[in-house]
Amino acid sequence: MVEVFQTNIQNPDVANRLLELLQNVFPEYRMNFDLEDCDNIFRVESIQTHIDAGPIMEMVKSHGHYIAVLPDVAPNGE
């Protein structure tokens, strides 16, 4: 399972610090930022468990950042 978020995080140092905090709280997830994407993507992957977006979003927001789940869009736009 993969969950993709839009953020307002643009600074790599901020992204790395936040990623470290998130990884400590949610060790069952693989996470990364793509700050070169126009939406400053934060991607969370899990093989064995369902991804609960709520606690992830609350933690990011508690550090003063914007985060929102990007809706699933089929490659052909449907």
- 17-71: pLDDT as tens digits: 999 999 999 999 999 999 999 999 999 999 888 899 999 999 999 999 999 999 8
How many whole angstroms separate alpha carbon 42 and alpha carbon 9? Answer: 9
Spatial contact of 9 and 35, defined as CB atoms under 8 Å apart: yes
3-state helix, strand, coil in the chain (%, to 5): 30, 25, 45
- Quote the pLDDT of residue 46: 94
Q: Is domain 2-69 annotated with CATH 3.30.70.100?
A: yes
Between 76 and 68, whose confidence is greater? 68
Q: What is the pLDDT of residue 74?
A: 54
pTM of the model: 0.87
